[in-house]
């Protein structure tokens, strides 16, 4: 098993280990025009897949920043989950600094380090509930570029059971995951992997150490588990 950086997490199955995505600058709130562009991209994806379902409004994607003791803040991506909540990755909160979502103060409702998922409360944020999907091969990753939502095309190569250890002597932990063919940037951890209908199939948490065209995402079943608590 090869291990990724920052925590020594790896993927089983002969593939390169993951590298958590980090960045050093916050973006602005995604606007309605960005969501409209993402919806258009999903419509093209649905047409290309031969689907007859019209894509619904995609989830709102927001920038998450975590203060880091006067240093450059930790940056991640969040997905609006409804009821003033935002879903993101747990590893972005490791520094336990003040959290902001699209410039709004936020606080942590719950985290799950095994799943690498966290749920934030963002007072005043209005967004519909997130919709979760089950299966698709052709997908879109909704990421933030210069403060605007951008659609990246991708494909699910396989579903995996990720086995990792925080320390070499620790017993292994497991996480349901997706190996996704997509090229992503630092700060994209927390970005949703969407099916042609705009439903969340997974949440990006790392990219491959050795392959620029490979990302790792937590499967939607893990998101369901976190939201149901």
Lowest mean pLDDT among 17-26, 55-64, 69-78, 216-225: 17-26
Stated pTM of the model:
0.79
Domains and CATH numbers, the chain: 18-227 (2.40.10.120)
Q: Between 36 and 189, where is the model more confident?
A: 189
Lowest mean pLDDT among 11-25, 71-85, 133-147, 188-202: 11-25
- Cα 107 to Cα 75, 100, 125, 144: the distances in Å are 15, 8, 13, 21
In this predicted model, what pLDDT tens digit does every residue of 8-45 receive, in sequence order? 333 443 343 565 554 433 333 334 346 566 666 666 66
In angstroms, the CA 102 to CA 61 distance is 9
Q: What pLDDT does 2 receive?
A: 33
Lowest mean pLDDT among 49-58, 150-159, 209-218: 49-58
According to DSSP, residue 132 is labeled B
Q: Which two tokens stand for residue 79?
A: 């997905």
Q: At a CB cut-off of 8 Å and minimum separation 6, what does 158 contact?
A: 178, 179
> 137 burial class (0-12, 13-18, 19+ CB within 10 angstroms)?
exposed
In angstroms, the CA 187 to CA 15 distance is 22
In this predicted model, what pLDDT tens digit does every residue of 93-152 receive, in sequence order? 988 899 999 999 999 999 999 999 999 999 999 999 999 987 899 999 999 999 899 999
Q: At a CB cut-off of 8 Å and minimum separation 6, what does 19 contact?
A: 4, 5, 6, 206, 207, 208, 209
Q: For residue 166, name the pLDDT band (cuts at 50, 70, 90).
A: confident
In angstroms, the CA 74 to CA 52 distance is 41
Q: Among positive and negative, which fits the CA dihedral 79, 81, 86, 91?
A: negative
Are 16 and 214 within 8 A, CB to CB? yes
Q: Between 164 and 35, where is the model more confident?
A: 164
């Amino acid at each position: 098993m090869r291990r990724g950086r920052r925590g020594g997490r790896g993927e089983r199955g002969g593939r390169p280990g993951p590298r958590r995505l980090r960045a050093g600058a916050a973006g602005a709130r995604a606007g309605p025009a960005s969501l409209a562009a993402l919806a258009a991209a999903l419509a093209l994806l649905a047409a290309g897949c031969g689907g007859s379902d019209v894509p619904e409004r995609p989830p709102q994607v927001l920038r998450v920043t975590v203060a880091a003791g006067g240093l450059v803040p930790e940056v991640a991506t969040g997905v609006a989950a409804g009821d003033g909540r935002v879903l993101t990755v747990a590893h972005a909160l490791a520094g336990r600094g003040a959290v902001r979502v699209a410039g709004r103060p936020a606080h942590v409702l719950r985290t799950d380090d095994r799943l690498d998922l966290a749920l934030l409360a963002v007072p005043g944020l209005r967004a519909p509930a997130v919709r979760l999907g089950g299966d698709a091969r052709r997908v879109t990753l909704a990421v933030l570029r210069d403060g605007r939502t951008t659609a990246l095309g991708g494909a699910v190569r396989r579903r995996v059971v990720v086995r990792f250890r925080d320390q070499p002597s620790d017993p292994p932990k497991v996480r349901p995951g997706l190996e996704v063919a997509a090229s992503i940037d630092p700060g994209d951890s927390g970005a949703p992997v969407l099916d042609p209908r705009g439903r969340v199939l997974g949440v990006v948490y790392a990219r491959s150490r050795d392959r620029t065209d490979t990302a790792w995402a937590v499967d939607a079943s893990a998101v369901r588990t976190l939201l149901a608590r």
